[in-house]
Amino acid sequence: MQGIKPASHPYLLELVTMSLANKNILLGISGGIAAYKSAELVRELVRDNASVRVVMTRSAKEFITPLTFQALSGNPVLTDEFEQSESANGMDHIAMARWADAILIAPASANTIAKLTHGGADDLLSTTCLASKAPIALAPAMNQAMWANSATQDNVEILSKRGLLFFGPAAGSQACGDVGEGRMFEPHQLLLSLSNLFNTGELTGINVMVTAGPTREPIDPVRYISNHSSGRMGYAIAEAAHDAGANVQLISGPVSLAAPEDIEYISVSTAQEMFDAVQADIETQQIFISCAAVADYRPVAKQPEKIKKLHDGLTVEMVRNPDIIAEVAKLKSKPFVVGFAAETRELKKYALQKLERKRLDMIAGNDVSDTNIGFDSPENALEVFWAGGHCSLERDTKTKIARRLIGLIAERYANTDKRSNVTVLKNAKDRSQNTR
């Protein structure tokens, strides 16, 4: 069977914890006694900071109640396409299909496997699978004779050829008293297999520095100048690079997001602090991705006391901040440099100008005139340019856009001359102790 082999080494289990954080996992439950094990799986996923939504088939509800999964996932459980919709346009399956970073059906019954093979869409789970571009994994659970039946085996072969993944089944004693292949993988094995889905390995061992969020330029002790930026795109990029196997350093301005636990994290406030943090370690980096919305100007001096509103007008004298990315691109032995261009019009023209002027290797332009994407939205769309090439990353969640951008960066980076003087980072975990 072509299922992913479970690993038992504790270090690998630790990796699971790291790579499922902030992932949107859609867990499908079909009818089988193994459904009780999926309750533990949801607990583990939530413990690993994944967002979990559960969809149950009608027969799954005969084995375990939706309430159990609702309590454990912290989200309402969806059980039927025709129940009251929670999305505004009444298209739950589409909303779920787009939301999911990965779909895992555990337990996957012989019936569900057969239904997926034939593209059936007569309930919410099968409809969502058909509508989703996310990777789909199945954890089969059934009687050994049902699993061995050539009807099931043929279905498994067809689905495998289509790119669906099979986690298990395992062999052993079964609830029905039989012994053989057909037991569902244990929750920790499923967790490990699921995390492997996100480890693309495209940037294994590469040092990647990412800047994210806004910078704050103080006017006085209570006021500051800043830019719109939630930091979500930069954080998603840092996580995608980490999933791709890179040693990631995330330098972040003030945002309300939690620092990713498994990534070296440096918190800064002003553009000058961000510049200093970048310069301190840029010589060791092979790729630099500047996603931060850096303030171009700062007040000449921060007033020591709060400025009183004594006059109708106020003039604050400003001075240019260092252009962090341009300074990196000027380095004699520069890393592969990726910039962002947030524009409200003529995106292509300004992005290409920036690519050339700042001597970047790649630029990702986003049209921030569309208020539904970009800045504070969970979604984005990017137009990516490099010398002689272009790629449109169509609207999607920031997590998925980030993963596709990292794929593009890895591809372009593989085609360029690598910087020669890079030394491997020290243990990222050790260093992050001092910088949190």
Residues 380-409 that bind ligand C5P (CB under 6 A): none
Q: How far is the CB of 435 from ligand C5P (least distance, A)?
A: 20
Q: How far is the CB of 79 from ligand C5P (least distance, A)?
A: 45
Specify the DSSP element, H or E, that contains 131: helix 124-131
Identify any residues that bridge with 55 across adjacent strands, giving them in sequence order.
28, 78
Q: Which stretch binds ligand C5P (CB under 6 A): 184-192, 201-209, 286-294, 387-395?
A: 286-294
As a residue count, the chain comes to 436
Q: Which stretch binds ligand C5P (CB under 6 A): 5-13, 95-103, 322-330, 414-422?
A: 322-330
Contacting residue, 324, 347, 406, 410, with ligand C5P by CB under 6 A: 324
Tokens of 154: 């043929």
Q: How far is the CB of 342 from ligand C5P (least distance, A)?
A: 7
Query: Applying CB under 6 A, what is the total number of residues that bind ligand C5P?
Result: 14
Is 174 within 8 Å of 34 (Cβ atoms)?
A: no
Coil/strand/helix, residue 353: helix
Question: Is 291 an active-site residue?
Answer: no
Q: How far is the CB of 212 from ligand C5P (least distance, A)?
A: 9
CA–CA gap between residue 274 and residue 324 (Å, rounded) = 8
Is 291 within 8 Å of 208 (Cβ atoms)?
A: no
- Residue whose structure tokens are 């691109």: 329
Q: 256-285 mask for ligand C5P (x: CB under 6 A)? A: ---------------x--------------
Q: How distant is the alpha carbon of residue 255 from its chain centre? A: 17
Q: Which stretch binds ligand C5P (CB under 6 A): 1-9, 88-96, 249-257, 323-331?
A: 323-331
Q: How far is the CB of 425 from ligand C5P (least distance, A)?
A: 21
Contacting residue, 27, 29, 241, 292, with ligand C5P by CB under 6 A: 292
Q: Which stretch binds ligand C5P (CB under 6 A): 3-11, 238-246, 336-344, 393-401?
A: 336-344
Provide DSSP, 397-424: EHHHHHHHHHHHHHHHHHTSPPPS---P
Is 139 within 8 Å of 105 (Cβ atoms)?
A: yes
CB atoms within 10 A of CB 319: 10
Residues 208-237 that bind ligand C5P (CB under 6 A): 211
Residues 130-189 that bind ligand C5P (CB under 6 A): none
Specify the DSSP element, H or E, that contains 152: helix 150-161
Residues 353-372 that bind ligand C5P (CB under 6 A): 354
Active site (catalytic) residues = 176
